[in-house]
A and B are shown apart, each in its own frame.
Chain A
Amino acid sequence: MRKNKAMIFWFCLPALLSLVIMFVYPVTRTVIMSFFQVESVTATTADWSFYGLGNYTKIFGSASFMTSMRNMLLIWIVGGVITLALAMLMAVVVTSGIRGKKFFRAAIYMPNIISAVALATMWIQYIFNYDYGLLNEIVQLFGGDKVKWLGTDLKFWAMTGSFIFGSVGYYMLIYISGIEGIPQDLYEAATIDGAGKGRQFFDITLPLLKGVIKTSITFWSINTTTFFLWTKMFSPIDTESSTIVPVIYLYDMVFGGKGITTRDAGAGAAVGVVLTLIIIAVYLVTEQLFKGSDLEY
Chain B
Amino acid sequence: MKKILSVLLAAVMVLTMLAGCSSKPEPTPDSDPSNTPANSTTPSNSSEPTPGGKQYDGVTLTMWSMWSTGEPQANVITEAAKAFEEKTGAKVNIEFKGRDVNKVLAASLEAGEKFDIFEDDYKRIGTVYQDFTYDLTDMAKAVNYDSFSYKCFTDQSIAWAGYLNAITEQPNVGGIFYDKDAFSKAGVTAEPKTWAEFLDACQKLKDAGIGPLAQDSAYADFAFYHTLVRYLGEDKIAELDQNGGWSGTAAEQAAQDIIDLRNKGFLADGAPDEYPSSQNKIGFGQAAMVICADYVTAEVNGTTGTQVNWGLFNYPAVDGGVDNGAAYMGANSLAITKYSENAQAAFDFIIFLTTGEMGQKLADEAHQIPADSRNTAPADLTGTIETLQAAQSPMTWCASLSVNADLKDSIKSLCVELFEGKYATGADFCAALDALY
Interface residues of chain A, those whose CB is within 8 Å of chain B, are 3, 6-7, 10-11, 13-14, 17-18, 21, 40-43, 62-65, 67, 124-125, 128-131, 146, 148, 150-152, 235-242, 244, 251-253, 255-263
17 additional A-B pairs beyond A146-B270, A150-B273, beta carbons within 8 Å, are A3-B3, A10-B7, A13-B14, A42-B106, A42-B110, A64-B406, A130-B270, A151-B420, A152-B420, A235-B218, A239-B408, A240-B409, A252-B405, A255-B106, A257-B402, A257-B408, A263-B106
CB contact under 8 A between A10 and B410, given known A18-B17, A124-B274, A236-B218: no
Contacting residues, chain B, for A256 (C-beta < 8 A): 102-103, 106, 124, 128
Nearest neighbor of A21 in chain B, beta-carbon distance: B21
- 7 CB-based A-B contacts, threshold 8 Å: A6-B3, A7-B6, A42-B111, A128-B274, A152-B413, A237-B219, A261-B127
How far apart are the CA atoms of A128 and B270 in the complex, in Å? 12
The residue that B397 contacts in the complex, of A18, A150, A239, A259, with Cβ under 8 A, is: A259
CA gap between A263 and B102 in the complex, in Å: 12
Q: Give the complex CA separation of A112 and B221 in angstroms.
A: 35
Q: How many residues from B make CB contacts under 8 Å with A? A: 50
Contact B405 A41 (CB under 8 A): no
Question: Roughly how many angstroms separate A6 CA and B9 CA in the complex, as a whole number?
Answer: 13
Q: Is B409 a contact of A239 with CB atoms below 8 Å?
A: yes
Chain B contact residues, CB within 8 Å of chain A: 3, 6-7, 10-11, 13-14, 17, 21, 102-104, 106-107, 110-111, 123-124, 127-128, 217-219, 221, 269-270, 272-275, 277, 396-399, 401-402, 405-410, 412-413, 416-417, 420, 422, 436
Q: Which residues of B contact A258 (CB under 8 A)?
A: 397
Majority secondary structure, B binding face: helix
Smallest CB gap from B410: residue in A: A241
- A235 to B406, alpha carbons, bound, how many Å? 17
A64-B407, A131-B277, A261-B123 given as contacts; is B10 within 8 A of A241 (CB)?
no
Least CB distance from B2 to A in Å reads 9
Whether A244 lies near B402 (C-beta < 8 A) is no
CA–CA, A150 and B273, complex, Å = 8
Q: Cβ of B3: which chain A residues have Cβ within 8 Å of it?
A: 3, 6-7
Question: Do residues A130 and B273 form an inter-chain contact, with CB atoms below 8 A?
Answer: yes
Q: How far is the CA of A258 from the CA of B332 in the complex (A)?
A: 13
Residues from chain B with Cβ under 8 Å of A131 in the complex: 269-270, 277
Complex-state Cα separation, A238 to B111, whole angstroms: 27
Verify B6–A260 contact, CB threshold 8 A: no
Do A67 and B410 contact each other (CB < 8 Å), given the known contacts A41-B107, A152-B420?
yes
Known: A17-B17, A63-B407, A237-B219. A255 touches B103 (CB 8 A): yes
Partner of B17, one of A14, A235, A238: A14
B435 and chain A: residue at smallest CB distance: A63
| Residue contact A240 to B412, C-beta cutoff 8 Å | yes
Q: Shortest CB–CB separation between residue B113 and chain A, in angstroms?
A: 10
Given contacts A259-B399, A261-B128, contact A241 B409 (CB under 8 A): yes
In the complex, the answer to whether A40 meets B106 with C-beta atoms within 8 Å is: yes
Tell me, in angstroms, the Cα distance from A148 to B277 when the chains sit together. 12
Check if B410 sits within 8 Å of A63, measured CB to CB.
yes
